[in-house]
Structure 1
């Protein structure tokens, strides 16, 4: 595979899965001490990657679960954030200033803070009540964060007897790193063509629904915009027909990501509509990916991670086609802001 270290990928994703037991023990302790709600915070892409786990908990658990922007929380606060709260903050670097400020704010409110970081000796690694460390880099962080957040959600629901299959699903995850690697290998021959289509246009509408929506948002904002300087319009499939459809015409690129959860029909509605109005519809569907041995229930939950693993292959070819390295930045962590 182009510019890809298979051993490193397996090590990182296996590391994420391997944290599940320690995550479960920590949540058992915090919930046992009387925690009554759960906050997921974060900044930028790391926060976006928490969304599938947040959705799962909000829809399947009675534990009040919230997703907040770190910078807004520090300014505005929350009446229900306090000593009875568990706060989860992801940051690959462990140094994101908005997230560090959020950690300090939440600790002052008495909350128990869990951090998910790539480096232990960082502000977020050192100052949390519990820190889970799994080194990753930009090309491997999506799957790692998705898997750690899912482990948190499964732990909460297992302890509250809200998802009887939680333990079985957690056990299934052990085989996922190698399955994701095989998915990359199978997709490698298709990735250059898809990258070429993305490179050919200066603007893309990107859409998805359910647990797949965060990955659409993430890929548009954090990869195509930040790392490739390509303009995008991420829009949730539920909102596509309430404004964005008026921009669809011949020559306009629409990228549709399809997952495998109950919200798939929202994506299929767009898939049925757009070919009549644009000649540039690109559909990526995780249902076409072979993941032998995984239950359909788990496939639905991990489809954003599967999509991320495919899109990493697209991005690897995209940077070569455009002669624009994914590490190139003009402003991010380069100028004061």
Structure 2
């Protein structure tokens, strides 16, 4: 069983004979801290908007968008579904425009993340929601874009592909926390937000501490052409996202993301010697679902990789907040894996065959 973080020589395994301990491959620390500081810095603004709309009579909330960025809203969605009686919905933008939803209307708050701010399906979905009278909040990486300029409320924080996952996880989490706080469904809003504001610098240290393990992991999986990727709870969206948006889109590697609760209802039959199984484990109530997969898979394949957020050090962060930011932690260490993969495979993460290259 191959566990990410083994004792193999990471520099040698990754092909970097001069890799210095503490050095991070192709990483701009100052840029990352500035972006994530901006992400948590909108907490007050988000809370003001949410409180205003709820006071005005908003009756439900929609997470809406297009593509992989929608997956990054799922931890916030599930938090509200588990902790609040406030109605919350999740819609694929392109499908909503064709099929509609009778719950979407003048009493709706719509939350839409979009890094580029220009994705046509997202723009069309936003226009559809606004035409029905909904109030739209957008989170974007660029202000001079349709998603930023046409929204009722916009929070723009410059980011790029390698920094946006943490940003959107945090910003949509802040939306959920604000709703819970306004409705009296949590009592520690200020404490959680205070802890979230400690994350930017700490995430850099998480990356630094994982760098050698990332090199080993990337070296172990660089030649695989297929992965089963699984997770549960707040880590499931990251499993789906990393498989679809990074390994498939950016590295052209086939993946099979499957929720840990569904693993034993079909996907287990694909596990055999030589098949790569990657399990993401967070710190919420669903850990046992991933552990069941982790007990099964090594019996039939020697390629099992486990990424557990409990292995990652954070200072002065409560267990509750750690559980909330498990997908953030996974995203931040997986960025390090991706940085090594693109070098080892000689396949830049920006290379595309079809996406924004041809009309479709």
How would you bin the TM-score normalised by the shorter chain? over 0.9
Instruction: Using the TM superposition, give the Cα deviation of residue 166 of structure 1 relative to its aligned residue in structure 2, in angstroms.
Output: 1.9
Correspondence list, 1:247-258, <5 A: 247-258=270-281
Return the offset for 1:192: 1.1
The equivalent position to 2:181 in structure 1, one of 139, 158, 161, is 158
1:141 maps to: 164
Structure 1 residues 4-47: Cα deviation after superposition (integer angstroms, max 9, x where no partner)? 00000000000000001000001111111100000000111110
SS at 2:161's partner residue?
coil
Whole-angstrom distance in 1 between the partners of 2:352 and 2:94: 22
* Match among 118, 134, 137 for residue 111 of structure 1: 134
Tell whether 2:82 aligns with 1:82. Answer: no
From 194, 205, 213, the equivalent of 1:190 is: 213
| Cα deviations by residue, 1:265-308 (Å, 9 ceiling, x for unpaired) | 00011111111111000001000000010000000000000000
Conserved 8 A contact 1:250-1:279? yes
Residue among 5, 16, 24 paired with 2:47: 24
Residue 113 of structure 1, CA deviation: 0.4
Matches within 5 A, 1:54-93: 54-93=77-116
Contact 1:209 1:236 in 2 (8 A): yes
Deviation at 1:200, TM superposition (A): 2.1
Say if 2:155 is the partner of 1:132.
yes
For residue 33 of structure 2, the aligned residue among 3, 6, 10 is 10
Matches within 5 A, 1:224-263: 224-263=247-286
Residue 68 of structure 1: SS of its match in structure 2?
A: strand
Corresponding position of 1:39: 62
d(CA) in 2 for partners of 1:97 and 1:262?
A: 37
The structural deviation recorded for 1:167 is: 2.0
Bigger relative contact order (CA 8 A; separation at least 6):
2
Deviation at 1:232, TM superposition (A): 0.3
Given candidates 279, 303, 306, the residue that maps to 2:302 is: 279
Q: Secondary structure at the match of 1:330?
A: coil
User: Quick one: distance in 2 between partners of 1:167 and 1:156?
Assistant: 13
Give the alignment's TM-score, normalised by structure 1. Answer: 0.99
Residues 37-90 of structure 1: CA deviation (Å, up to 9, x unaligned): 000001111101000000000110111001100000001111111000000111
SS in 2 for 1:115: strand
Displacement after TM superposition at 1:134 (Å)? 0.8
Question: Is 1:291 the equivalent of 2:314?
Answer: yes
**1:97-108 alignment, distance < 5 Å:** 97-108=120-131
- Cα RMSD after superposing both structures: 0.6
Partner of 1:302: 325
Pairing 1:223–2:276 present:
no
| Structure 2 counterpart SS, 1:190 | helix
Paired residue total: 337
Q: Which 4+ stretches in 1 moved above 6 angstroms?
A: none
Q: TM-score, normalised by structure 2?
A: 0.93
Q: Write out per-residue CA displacement over residues 137-190 of structure 1, whole angstroms, 9 at most, x where no aligned residue.
A: 000000000000011010000000001122210111110111110000001111
Residue by residue over 1:182-226, the C-alpha shift from the partner in whole angstroms, topping out at 9 and shown as x without a partner, is 000001111111001221211000000000000000000000000
| In structure 2, C-alpha distance between the alignment counterparts of 1:145 and 1:100, rounded to whole Å | 18
Checking the alignment, whether the CA contact within 8 Å between 1:91 and 1:115 is kept in structure 2 is yes
Helix, strand or coil at the partner of 2:264:
coil
Question: What's 2:351 paired with?
Answer: 328
**Which of 80, 90, 95 is 2:118 aligned to?**
95
SS in 2 for 1:162: coil
What CA distance in whole angstroms lies between the structure 2 residues aligned with 1:197 and 1:70? 37
